[in-house]
Amino acid sequence: MKRVILHSDMNNCYASIEIQRNPDLRGKTLVVGGSVEDRHGIVLAKSMEAKAMGIKTGEALWQAKNKCPNLVVVAPHYEVYLDFSRRARTIYYDYTNQVEPFGLDECWLDVTGSVHLFGSGEAIAHAIRRRMKEELGITVSVGVSFTKTFAKLGSDMKKPDAVTVIAEEDVARKVYPLPTDAMIGIGSKTKEKLRAVGIHTLGDLAQADPALLKSRLGINGEKLWKKARGMEEDPVRDRDDLLPVKSVGNGITLREDLKSPVEVRRIFQILALNVARRLREGELMARGIEIHLRDKDLRSMTFQRMLPTDGASSFLLRDSAFDLYTEKVDPARPIRAVTLRATNLVPSKAAVQTDFFSDYEKKKKEEDLDRAIYTIRRRYGEEAITFLGLLNDTKMPIHTHDVITLPHPVFR
């Protein structure tokens, strides 16, 4: 039996939610954008009117305003978007328990086992489309097909407020004329590699020699070939099928460039406190660390290594990250953005390999101090306690937001 897969995509998600919250914004050339003062001045989402003016997601706000001087810019409200995402998922769960999120605004649904209850995949898609409009006040585009890849292609074909079906007999007509980068998993670099061997459309990709693709793109080339031919078997993950957390990170773009190692170390301390908190909440500890830096010229650097000992304290994360930075980066290089990530995670109750050279008494004191800071902040707020060095101007942005990556048990 062929699978029946839906892909539901909230149209212009952030902008649509802001318009739903404030109807006076309807019909205006609107974008949701970050703070110019904090150097987060980019378009995060746009209304249909802004799209018609040629405004694109990801471009700088000043560029968008050049295209439309009367542009309305609204600050993002992530907690509101998260709430809408939860509410949308509640609707999806009425039709299947196999719901796999893809960011805040998109989900795959496997309704193969539900068609005998609710009708065809197309009928279920239309029911979801109507309910989203009636209950949440926003529209969705839904693709219906027999693989996840083709279902997503379908949701991209008609916007807004539409349902597109790609049946097996429709593939040659609807899918194969599309450019290769219309398919999920093919970005600009992969597109160029495919173009170099004469592959321009998804039809070209489907008819290509898989051995050639594997030689050019590795195992991913063979996977892309299978997806283009409708041979994909990737499941839509069940609502209770949680993937293990492989890493926990926190990153920030600074208000001004960091121009000394002292300034960089302060930022590592701030990020490490956030990462350590999330590790403690998840009852996890790290065995490795990764840092990602972007300099003033937007050149990126990523470095990683194993930690000297397993742990979850902010001191361990901060010191290891800073040691990696001092070894790998020219201290005179101005830094614009910093990310710290704890990797190789294991349960906090896992056995720890000891050695003769580590100061375990110091490690225990640091963990106790971390635990005290965490307890005080949880009870009295983030500003209740901090390090003396962080009272200086750290160049942190004025407006900060916690970013939540889907999927997570927070949606259950």
- What is the largest distance, in Å, between two alpha-carbon atoms of the chain? 68
DSSP-assigned letter for residue 12: T
DSSP-assigned letter for residue 42: B
Q: Which of 54, 48, 15, 52 is nearest to 160 (CA)?
A: 48
Q: Is 105 annotated as a binding residue?
A: yes
DSSP-assigned letter for residue 17: H
> What is the distance between the alpha carbons of residues 182 and 143, in angstroms, rounded to a whole number?
14
DSSP-assigned letter for residue 282: T
CB 408: neighbour CB atoms within 10 A?
13
Asked whether 1 and 116 are in contact (CB, 8 A), the reply is no
For residue 175, is it left (φ>0), alpha (ψ between -120 and 50) or beta? alpha
> What is the distance between the alpha carbons of residues 203 and 379, in angstroms, rounded to a whole number?
59
Q: Is 368 annotated as a binding residue?
A: no
What are the residue numbers of the active site? 106
Q: Which residues pair with 7 in a beta bridge?
A: 108, 143
Helix (H), strand (E) at residue 280: helix 261-281
DSSP strand pairing (72-74 vs 30-33)? parallel
> What is the distance between the alpha carbons of residues 82 and 408, in angstroms, rounded to a whole number?
12
Q: Which residues are annotated as a binding site?
A: 9, 105
Q: Which residues are annotated as a binding site for Mg(2+)?
A: 9, 105
